[in-house]
Amino acid sequence: MEKVSIGLGDRSYEIHIGSGLLSGSRVGPVPSSGTVAVVVTDKRVRPLYGASLLGALRDAYPHVHTVTLPDGEEHKNWQTLNLIFDALLTHGCDRKTVLYALGGGVIGDMTGFAAACYMRGIDFVQVPTTLLAQVDSSVGGKTAINHPLGKNMIGAFHQPRLVICDLSTLDTLPARELAAGIAEVIKYGPIADMELFAWLEANMDALLARDHAALAHVVKRSCEIKAAVVGADEREAGLRAILNFGHTFGHAIEAGMGYGEWLHGEGVAAGMVMAAELSRRLGLVDGDFVGRLRVLIARAGLPVRGPVLDARDNAGRYLELMRVDKKAEAGEIRFVLIDGPGRAVVRPAPDALVREVIDACCATA
Amino acid sequence: MEKVSIGLGDRSYEIHIGSGLLSGSRVGPVPSSGTVAVVVTDKRVRPLYGASLLGALRDAYPHVHTVTLPDGEEHKNWQTLNLIFDALLTHGCDRKTVLYALGGGVIGDMTGFAAACYMRGIDFVQVPTTLLAQVDSSVGGKTAINHPLGKNMIGAFHQPRLVICDLSTLDTLPARELAAGIAEVIKYGPIADMELFAWLEANMDALLARDHAALAHVVKRSCEIKAAVVGADEREAGLRAILNFGHTFGHAIEAGMGYGEWLHGEGVAAGMVMAAELSRRLGLVDGDFVGRLRVLIARAGLPVRGPVLDARDNAGRYLELMRVDKKAEAGEIRFVLIDGPGRAVVRPAPDALVREVIDACCATA
């Protein structure tokens, strides 16, 4: 088993990475927990891994309950969140109850937000079962639900007590979701670690074949990089924004296509190419770098071109969507750009140049 | 104008106490705010003070919006909270938007919770217009909404950037609500400051006549005491629980009567007598102390006896309700008791003794 320690003072925790962990003896109890654990999962994941985790938790806590939510981003809303609160209150759960989020990013986000709000904050443990959740939402403490007018608009920063990345759960992950997770792994190269990028160029086949040693390496390295960034900027005041490389364009793609059409990682993949191309046109990186990034993304089976969101004024539609992004300030879009391979910078860019990039990087251009 | 400084590191803020403050030049802007302020108020308060605050804010922020919520504890729920989110998103409010809570405790709790969750946390300012809100919710950062299965069950700790206690707003407060606020002021005596208690014995008439100098004194002193307690225990791990003197019985009264029948302060008033009587029967204080407390509470026009919640088994009903309180741990009720005048202690008590106290302190007993 590999370990990554996240140092955040009294909110520090460990990420455990390995095969078969969720049925093991280290799932709990977490320090200062009470006697009750509640597993929050969804209808898709529960039949796959629910019994294993519940079995392990019953050895760690006298009382274990389960809440099974509907599956999918479209249920990441208040109504579904309230099913968690209903269950906690019906079972008389107190402030020492520990929630276990068993599932992908949606389950992690909702369970974390429920833990942040229930009685003004209880402990939770992340048991992410997708690559995306293991490399991205394991670190950072971001939790949220969607609002009809915007994704992840209602949420909190709330750190888990423990993250259990069981690589065995990735064996059953659909290929498209595996690729979407790899997009977030690729991201860490341009912004922080070109060694990881080169490793991915050499080992993409093993990763796509779900080799556990390869998966362990990328999960560990991704968590380490993200931890270093988040440790320096827990509340997203500045540096942390570089983790959104590819996300500004990516969020516009997700929103413009209707959530669920493009997976988050797919939007980020095409968005990284756009952000790299914008960096190139601003004179920050050369064409070779953009080419390497495009090739690696394509090898992962991910899209390298954005979709057309509006046949009449495609670039205008992208800009419109990017201006309402949470990261925008007073309508000014702040792009995460690559300021030389392995180094990111956050800055605005002229609309005209952004339009050129969108025109050059979209499907029918 | 009086000031109380709340020292909580980078979450420190000031409480301003005085007459006519909400139409003055010091309402804003708060540090590092953006260009937008949003006033959240209710249908009762808006016609009284909305125009004054809006006028002052328009001098401080380029853009000022208002959200008017329905009035009353029964609306302190997700549906009403969502009206705030709807307005923020419709106006395109970004992370530098500042919310102003203009109203009583319900408005403060909901606005604070909305600020805690919107885009994972934005700034807010409390402008409490009831004595209860000025002396209680000004300090501590507790925000919440109710769940059908429990009061204040969903919430967050989120500190305001500034609290403006405008004593002029108390001129229009119904007498019953003024008294309910005085209950929370009286509370600070037995748990922390018998000098304040003696001051109240000498000045209750001035307070009931809404003399601004008397009001300023109790608001300032209450905030100082609460600040000292909260500063030592921001996340309610231990000491802070003493602020709930009278609240364990009080919450049972509120819940048992149906929310809104008894005001929070009224429940706390009768609850303090019960908790003091329990302290006496445990040998912690003498009968003189309980008598002094009962007399002062009665002089404020507050109830000194609890209502009968169940004609067949009144004490059983109280115990049942107290066991589901947020403060209970694994069903054990933790009482805030007076361990000598001016000093509180938190501990469990034998059911049989609690039953005796309830029987002795309720209306028809």
Minimal Cβ distance to B153: which of A118, A142, A150: A118
Cβ contact, residue pair A329, B34, below 8 Å: yes
pLDDT above 80: residue B46: yes
**Does residue B29 have a cis bond before it (omega within 30 degrees)?**
yes
Minimal Cβ distance to A96: which of B154, B157, B329: B329
Q: Is B247 a catalytic residue?
A: yes
Q: Enumerate the residues of chain A whose CB falls inside 8 A of the CB of residue B142.
A: 120
Chain B from 222 to 261: CB within 8 A of any A CB = 235-236
The reply to whether B158 sits in an annotated binding site is no
What pLDDT band is residue B13 in, cutting at 50, 70 and 90? Answer: very high
Q: Tell me what pLDDT residue A33 has.
A: 87
Q: Count CA within 13 A, CB hemisphere, residue B35.
A: 7
User: What ipTM, to 2 d.p.?
Assistant: 0.88
Can you give the pLDDT of all 365 residues of chain A as single tens digits? Answer: 999 999 888 889 999 999 999 999 999 999 888 899 999 999 999 999 999 999 999 999 999 999 999 998 889 999 999 999 999 999 999 999 999 999 999 999 999 999 999 999 999 999 999 999 999 888 889 999 999 988 899 999 999 999 999 999 999 999 999 999 999 999 999 999 999 999 999 999 999 999 999 999 999 999 999 998 887 776 666 788 899 999 999 999 998 998 778 999 999 999 999 999 999 999 999 999 999 999 999 999 999 999 999 999 999 999 999 987 766 666 789 999 999 999 999 999 999 999 999 999 997 64
Q: Which residues contact B195 (CB under 8 A, 6 or more apart)?
A: none
Our CA-based measurement puts residue A155 at a distance from the nearest CA of chain B, in whole angstroms, of 5
Is the Cβ of B95 closer than 8 Å to some Cβ of chain A? yes
Is the Cβ of B90 closer than 8 Å to some Cβ of chain A? yes
Q: Are strands A63-69 and A98-103 parallel, antiparallel or unpaired?
A: unpaired
Which phi and psi (to 5°) does residue A345 adopt?
-140, 150
Answer with the residue of higher pLDDT: A42 or B74. Answer: A42
Alpha-helix residue ranges (DSSP H) falling in chain B? 51-58, 78-90, 105-117, 131-132, 175-192, 194-208, 212-232, 247-257, 264-281, 287-299, 314-323, 351-361
Is the Cβ of A153 closer than 8 Å to some Cβ of chain B? yes
Cβ contact, residue pair A82, B78, below 8 Å: yes
Q: Which residues contact A228 (CB under 8 A, 6 or more apart)?
A: A192
In whole angstroms, give the CA distance from residue B113 to residue B81. Answer: 8
Q: Are strands A36-42 and A63-69 parallel, antiparallel or unpaired?
A: parallel
Q: Tell me what pLDDT residue A324 has.
A: 77
List domains and CATH numbers for chain B: 2-172 (3.40.50.1970), 188-361 (1.20.1090.10)
Q: Is A280 a catalytic residue?
A: no
Is the Cβ of A331 closer than 8 Å to some Cβ of chain B? yes
Of B139, B112, B133, whose CA–CA distance to B124 is shortest? B112
Q: Is B264 a catalytic residue?
A: yes
- Assess contact for A325 and A251: CB atoms under 8 A: yes
Our CA-based measurement puts residue B10 at a distance from the nearest CA of chain A, in whole angstroms, of 12
Which of A46, A187, A220, A226 is an active site residue?
A: A226
Q: Tell me what pLDDT residue B151 has.
A: 84
Residues B150, B153, B159, B162, CA torsion sign: negative
- Assess contact for B163 and B128: CB atoms under 8 A: yes
Answer with the residue of higher pLDDT: B239 or A308. Answer: A308
* Span B120-151, pLDDT tens digits: 999 999 999 999 999 988 888 999 999 998 88
Of B128, B159, B129, B131, whose CA–CA distance to B143 is shortest? B159
Q: Is A142 a catalytic residue?
A: yes
Q: Tell me what pLDDT residue A364 has.
A: 65
Which phi and psi (to 5°) does residue A46 adopt?
-55, -50
In whole angstroms, give the CA distance from residue A235 to residue A243. Answer: 13
DSSP per-residue letters across A127-156: EE-SHHIIIIITSS-EEEEEETTEEEEEEE
* Beta strands per DSSP E along A43-172: 63-69, 98-103, 123-128, 142-147, 150-157, 162-166
The reply to whether A59 sits in an annotated binding site is no
Minimal Cβ distance to A153: which of B119, B235, B328: B119
Q: Tell me what pLDDT residue B326 has.
A: 66
In whole angstroms, give the CA distance from residue B221 to residue A307. Answer: 62
Q: Is B236 a catalytic residue?
A: yes
In whole angstroms, give the CA distance from residue A224 to residue A135. Answer: 9
Is the Cβ of A104 closer than 8 Å to some Cβ of chain B? no
* Span B167-204, pLDDT tens digits: 999 999 999 999 999 999 999 999 999 999 999 999 99
Cβ contact, residue pair A329, B147, below 8 Å: no
The reply to whether A142 sits in an annotated binding site is yes
Of B287, B278, B292, B260, whose CA–CA distance to B322 is shortest? B278
